């Protein structure tokens, strides 16, 4: 079955605000939650689908990737490379945690009080066509959040730990009764933590998180193409309360080259030659991404003739071997001719006219 558009799943427009998306998801979650629809497989599927959509659209970074690259930007695709086996887990996990932040669904308030995996980060990496051909090591500047080293992520001043929340008695939840239903929701005082910070850490101001900038070296393999994504495990944002760090996704963007073009795994070069070279043949040495390459032009070569050198193109990331190096001949008409050149071309034209002149037929004789 085709993957439904996440905006369609939640019933919102693509330019909807985060608040609109959150509101739409909350209504669907209340409607289809399994606790309200026991044994209803269709409701359970709708609930999971809405939760999946919100886990992406409710996250600014994941929503940006989804808007630009679609579902392939969030899960492994045939155009991608590297290890994406766990990306879907990071995107589509934590439904109970999302619900816990709204209503307290899930035992013990979900994961809000325990460890949580850090968020994934996506960053665009600009490289040249030559760098894509040969591969390169790039240093990336990554801005992210991590646990505060002073309070070890607790948000509380060292030596003065957080105190149990008096509103919820340390459970992180309060209950609201609606008719026959009793719904647990996150405690509004402690936000589900079960504890209240009375003496905030001066470094992180009670958040438990601080921003940091890291410089990370990434090996970009030969053969990458525009839109490919490379995962660097554990280089996303730091986990919460001992949770593992998220991942960093390097999204490849390739700058245009003024000499070479790319067609799938083939490297294309247009070579300008003169009339004389096209007619008589020649051997020309050109600079390429791998060094010098001698191109042999056969006599009587025509304009736009294609020369193919096997195995000199881009490396195939999803298979063996390489593409080809394709040279397209451009026969250039000369300009700014000297008197001697003009005379030689006149002589050549006369020879051509004489060569192509039809033989004169003898007149019929009448006797």
- pLDDT for residue 170 is more than 90: no
Contact 229, 84 (CB under 8 A): yes
C-alpha closest to that of 130 among 218, 256, 231:
256
Residue 161 · residue 154 · CB < 8 Å: yes
Query: Dihedrals φ, ψ of 205, to 5°?
Result: 60, 35
CATH topology of domain 260-356: HSP40/DNAj peptide-binding domain (2.60.260)
Does residue 86 surpass a pLDDT of 70? no
Q: What is the pLDDT of residue 178?
A: 58
For residue 26, pLDDT beyond 90: no
| Dihedral angle computed from the Cα positions of residues 73, 76, 82 and 84, in that order, rounded to the nearest 10 degrees | 100
pLDDT band at 89 (very low <50, low <70, confident <90, very high): very low
Residue 208: what pLDDT? 87
On the question of pLDDT at 133 being above 80, the answer is yes
Average pLDDT in the 116-120 region?
Answer: 87
Please report the pLDDT score of residue 153 as a whole number.
85
Distance of alpha carbon 262 from alpha carbon 318, whole angstroms:
17
Q: What's the confidence (pLDDT) of residue 94?
A: 41
Higher pLDDT, 69 or 326: 326
Domain ranges of the chain: 1-113, 117-162+197-255, 260-356
Distance CA 32, CA 50 (A): 9
Confidence of residue 193 (pLDDT cuts 50, 70, 90): confident
Average pLDDT over residues 349-363: 74
218-241 pLDDT tens trace: 999 999 999 999 999 999 998 887
Averaged pLDDT for residues 143-154: 89
Pick the CATH number of 1-113 from 1.10.287.110, 1.20.1600.10, 3.40.50.1100, 1.10.150.120: 1.10.287.110
Backbone angles phi, psi at 301, to 5 degrees: -75, 140
Higher pLDDT, 285 or 107: 285
* Architecture field, domain 117-162+197-255: Sandwich (2.60)
Question: CA dist 276 to 181, 202, 333, 348, Å?
Answer: 91, 79, 10, 12
pLDDT(85) > 60: no
Tell me the average pLDDT across 212-216.
Answer: 93
What distance in Å separates the CA atoms of residue 115 and residue 239, rounded to the nearest whole number? 7
- Three-state secondary-structure class, residue 176: strand
């Amino acid at each position: 079955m085709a993957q439904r558009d996440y905006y369609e799943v939640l019933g919102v427009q693509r330019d909807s605000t985060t608040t609109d998306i959150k509101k739409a998801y909350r209504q669907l979650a209340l409607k289809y939650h399994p606790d309200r629809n026991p044994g209803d497989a269709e409701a359970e599927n709708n609930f999971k689908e809405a939760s999946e959509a919100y886990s992406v659209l409710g996250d600014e970074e994941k929503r940006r990737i989804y808007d630009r690259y679609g579902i392939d930007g969030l899960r492994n695709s045939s155009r991608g490379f590297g290890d994406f086996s766990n990306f879907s887990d990071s995107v589509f996990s934590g439904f109970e945690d999302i619900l816990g932040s709204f209503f307290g669904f899930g035992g013990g308030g979900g994961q809000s009080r325990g460890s949580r995996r850090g968020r994934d980060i996506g960053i665009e990496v600009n490289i040249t066509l030559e760098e894509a051909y040969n591969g390169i090591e790039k240093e990336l500047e990554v801005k992210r959040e991590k646990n505060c080293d002073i309070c070890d992520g607790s948000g509380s001043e060292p030596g003065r730990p957080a105190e149990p929340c008096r509103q919820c008695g340390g459970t992180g939840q309060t209950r609201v009764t609606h008719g026959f239903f009793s719904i647990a929701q996150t405690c509004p005082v402690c936000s589900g933590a079960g504890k209240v910070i009375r003496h905030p850490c001066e470094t992180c101001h009670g958040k438990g998180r601080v921003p940091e900038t890291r410089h990370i070296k990434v090996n970009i393999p030969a053969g990458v193409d525009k839109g490919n994504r490379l995962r660097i495990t554990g280089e996303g944002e730091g986990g919460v309360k001992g949770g593992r760090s998220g991942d960093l996704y390097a999204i490849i963007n390739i700058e245009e080259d003024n000499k070479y073009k790319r067609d799938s795994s083939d490297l294309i070069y247009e070579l300008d030659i003169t009339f004389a070279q096209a007619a008589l043949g020649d051997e020309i040495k050109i600079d390429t991404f791998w060094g010098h390459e001698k191109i042999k032009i056969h006599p009587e070569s025509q304009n736009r003739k294609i020369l193919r050198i096997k195995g000199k193109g881009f490396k195939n990331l999803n298979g063996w071997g390489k593409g080809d190096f394709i040279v397209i001949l451009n026969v250039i008409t000369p300009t700014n001719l000297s008197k001697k050149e003009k005379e030689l071309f006149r002589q050549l034209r006369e020879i051509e006219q004489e060569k192509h002149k039809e033989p004169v037929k003898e007149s019929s004789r009448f006797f």
